[in-house]
Amino acid sequence: MRRPRSLQARLMLVLLLIVPATWLAASAAAVWLAQREVDELFDTQMAQFARQLLAIDVHGMQPDDPPKLKHLLAGADKGRMDNDDMGLVIWDAQGRQVLCDGRGRRFDYEPARRGFQNFAGRDHHHDWRLLYLPAPDGSRMVAVGQKLGLRQEMVWSVVQAQLLPWLIGLPLMLAAILIALRRELAPFRRLADAIAARAPDDNSPVPAEVPQEVLPLVRALNALFVRIGQMLEHERRFTADAAHELRTPLAALRVQAEVLALTPDEGGRRHALSQLQRA
């Protein structure tokens, strides 16, 4: 016969599956939200930086002018963007590079392109996110690029800062849940021990100092004990009545047997024996 599984073991198994699964779902949601926030932050900074580039005077600049470019980048508001992870280029209306850095030189001039675009392998197999922004008068086109790896690093740093405490606390939380579960199921064990230790003829009610969820079971057991007690009492009364009913014929038989034993003559014994047989 298959042994029933423990309720405590089943509840523990369910909790051990649900809690980590919930934690993983929360982690995935945190990664998605962090990615969204980081993308929004850096896209805003790229757009602001591109507008600053459109506002500068580029007349007389060479496409690759390190001093001018260094001065320009030092004065521009790039937010959290690092020079090593970004690139820029300014084209004139004919598509000639007016100003660029080493990475921006590799950006393609696409006058019809507008807004943000992701490109794979743009610089030494790195993925880039580019923003194409034209001047209102169409005289220039600015492209600002950023390595997507920087965003991934930022996302993971944010996620680790948020989830690392949860990752450390998850085993502690599971242990606390299991201890609490074992403690809350203790009334069931005490109830089972109390019933197992009862005498066969003990029909006294089980104490009802139990949690609300166990109370219906205790009430049902007490009602069962009452019915068993009533049934045993009925059987005792029936046995007593039957013994009383049997006691009178047996007494008569005993008297006839005594008469038979005390009768000295043969005729008297036969008469007593016939009386005993009729009884």
DSSP characters for 180-240? HHHHHTHHHHHHHHHHHTS-TT--PPPP--S-TTTHHHHHHHHHHHHHHHHHHHHHHHHHH
* Average pLDDT, integer, range 22-36: 86
Residue 203 lies in a domain: no
223 and 112 both lie in a single domain: no
Q: Are 135 and 141 in contact (CB under 8 A)?
A: yes
pLDDT surpassing 70 at residue 73: no
Average pLDDT over residues 20-49: 88
- 103 and 39 together in one domain: yes
Q: Which residue has the higher pLDDT, 250 or 100?
A: 100
User: Are residues 138 and 224 located together in one domain of the fold?
Assistant: no
In a domain, 234, yes or no: yes
Please check whether residues 61 and 158 belong to one and the same domain: yes
Report yes or no on 193 lying in a domain.
Answer: no
Token reading at 136: 């209102």
From 133, 150, 166, give the residue that closes a domain: 166
Do 159 and 37 share a structural domain? yes
57 three-class SS: coil
With a cut of 60, say whether residue 186 has pLDDT above it.
Answer: yes
Residues 14 and 139 in one domain: yes
Query: Could you tell me if residue 1 is inside a domain?
Result: no
Q: What is the pLDDT of residue 1?
A: 47
Asked if residue 160 and residue 22 are part of one domain, the reply reads: yes
Clarify whether residues 138 and 238 are in a common domain.
no
Residue 137, SS3? coil
Please indicate, yes or no, whether residues 105 and 32 belong to a single structural domain of this protein: yes
Structure tokens that stand for 18 in this block: 């649900």
- Count of the separate structural domains present in the chain: 2
Q: Is the pLDDT of residue 132 over 90?
A: yes
pLDDT at res. 84 = 66
- pLDDT for 47 equals 92
Q: What is the pTM of this model?
A: 0.57
The angle at the Cα of 182, spanning 173 to 178, to the nearest 5 degrees, equals 20
Question: Both 53 and 115 in a single domain?
Answer: yes
Identify the burial level of 1 via C-beta atoms within 10 angstroms of its C-beta, where 0-12 means exposed, 13-18 middle and 19 or more buried.
exposed
Q: Tell me the range of 41-45, 61-65, 93-97, 211-215 where mean pLDDT is highest.
A: 41-45
| 115, pLDDT greater than 70 | yes
Q: Which domain range does residue 162 map to?
A: 7-65+84-166
Angstrom CA distances, 235 to 226, 227, 228, 242, stand at: 14, 12, 11, 10
What is the C-alpha separation between 131 and 113, in angstroms, rounded? Answer: 9
Indicate whether 171 belongs to any domain. no
Mean pLDDT across the chain: 76
